[in-house]
Amino acid sequence: MDAFVYQALSQRVVFGDGTLAGLGAELDRLGVSRALILAGPQLRQAAETLGRDLAAKAAGVFAEAAMHTPVAVTDRALDAARTARADSVVSLGGGSTTGLGKAIALRMGLPQVAVPTSYAGSEATPILGETRDGRKVTQRDPRILPRVVIYDVSLTLSLSPAFSVTSGLNAIAHAVEALYAEHRNPPTSDLARAGIAALSAALPGIVADPGDRAARSDALYGAWTCGTCLGTVGMALHHKACHVLGGSFDLPHAETHSVILPHAVAYNESAAAPALAPVATLLRADSAAHGLWDLARRLGAPTSLRMLGMPEDGLDRAADDIAGTPYWNPRPVDRSAIRRILQDAYEGRPPGGHR
């Protein structure tokens, strides 16, 4: 066994079916009594219902969470938290809502409880990505990590199969990059492989039967394991590309991960072959990149940036941004090669055409 460093995250996880009923008790454990409930516009009604259930423990509802955590939205949420005299936040929703809760927690020092309704995995990380003036910037801080996560399988049953797939592929991306990230280590790699296995098996079941609670439970578990990997070892080329494409071109977050992942893996596979070999085995493919590409296609996920609304004349700027300030990566980030794989991703070509 090689020497390694593993930094554990301090977080309480409550996992099950119907666990949202215990939210009030979790707030009591934290010693708080005025929680601002955060949600996106589509979950406003659910957030208001949750507020009524919490009664005096709810300080109000802010239902304006937006994709890529724009700073302008965070500023409005901060005003709402101060006006309501909130002493905590509860984030009910996907990665966008969790991101907003993180942004408030970082700025105000409030404890946060995340209640995920998707497979984003953001709730398991001390990482915040925010968008300002068309650029997405990430930062890591212990205060960003939610103190408690409540995973309730029943909250995911209404997720459409299409969004379940892209959200799940987004989670898989966290685990795949953890296998070759700068601070990779054996415990995290074991967890990453478990997360990939859980999600790659669960997602076809959800597509076949969206009400399959066993598949939903396995997918939610996979989301937690994959998110934990991202939180403990960090990111590389794939996440850098997705942050640029999302922050600068407002592309949908989960769908962008679905498109980019096979291409980023193909770029890195020669430099991280031992780390990625188990992914190919899990997906029963000749390579990790082809396995991820085939999985996305079988599940009906988008496979081209053009489908997501990416302007072709923006590919040069995206390549400049990705290569100009790269994250650590096992293979040096070459601007011309990145431009070629972006073109492949734009056209929806299979990965690996440019080695």
How large is the C-alpha radius of gyration of the chain? 19
Note the pLDDT of residue 355: 45
In this structure, how many other beta carbons lie within 10 angstroms of the beta carbon of residue 324?
Answer: 10
Q: Report residue 135's pLDDT band, with 50, 70 and 90 as the boundaries.
A: confident
Q: State mean pLDDT over 174-203.
A: 96
Q: Are the C-beta atoms of residues 188 and 178 closer than 8 Å to each other?
A: yes
Note the pLDDT of residue 134: 81
How far apart CA 190 and CA 205 sit, in angstroms, is: 24
DSSP letter, residue 85: T
Least confidently predicted of 53-62, 77-86, 129-138, 195-204: 129-138
Q: Give the model confidence (pLDDT) of 218-272 as tens digits.
A: 999 999 999 999 999 989 999 999 999 999 999 999 999 999 999 999 999 999 9
Q: Report residue 353's pLDDT band, with 50, 70 and 90 as the boundaries.
A: low
Q: State mean pLDDT over 42-62.
A: 97
How many CA atoms are closer than 13 Å to the CA of 303, on its beta-carbon side?
A: 18
Whether residue 153 is predicted with pLDDT greater than 80 in this model: the reply is yes
Pairing of strands 112-116, 148-152: parallel
234 or 123, higher pLDDT: 123
**Distance from the Cα of residue 102 to its chain's centroid:** 13
Note the pLDDT of residue 1: 67
Token pair 């910037």: residue: 137
DSSP letter, residue 209: -
Q: Give the model confidence (pLDDT) of 81-103 as tens digits.
A: 999 999 999 999 999 999 999 99
Q: State mean pLDDT over 205-222.
A: 97
Q: State mean pLDDT over 310-330.
A: 96
Q: Give the model confidence (pLDDT) of 288-302 as tens digits.
A: 999 999 999 999 999
Share of the chain above pLDDT 90, in %: 93
Note the pLDDT of residue 9: 83
Note the pLDDT of residue 207: 98
Q: State mean pLDDT over 185-209.
A: 97
Whether residue 354 is predicted with pLDDT greater than 60 in this model: the reply is no
Note the pLDDT of residue 7: 79
DSSP letter, residue 94: S
The per-residue pLDDT of the chain, averaged, comes to: 95
Q: Give the model confidence (pLDDT) of 65-84 as tens digits.
A: 999 999 999 999 999 999 99
Domains, the chain, with CATH or none: 12-156 (3.40.50.1970), 161-347 (1.20.1090.10)
H-helix or E-strand containing 133? none
Whether residue 2 is predicted with pLDDT greater than 80 in this model: the reply is no
Note the pLDDT of residue 6: 79
**What are the structure tokens assigned to 136, written together?**
């997405």
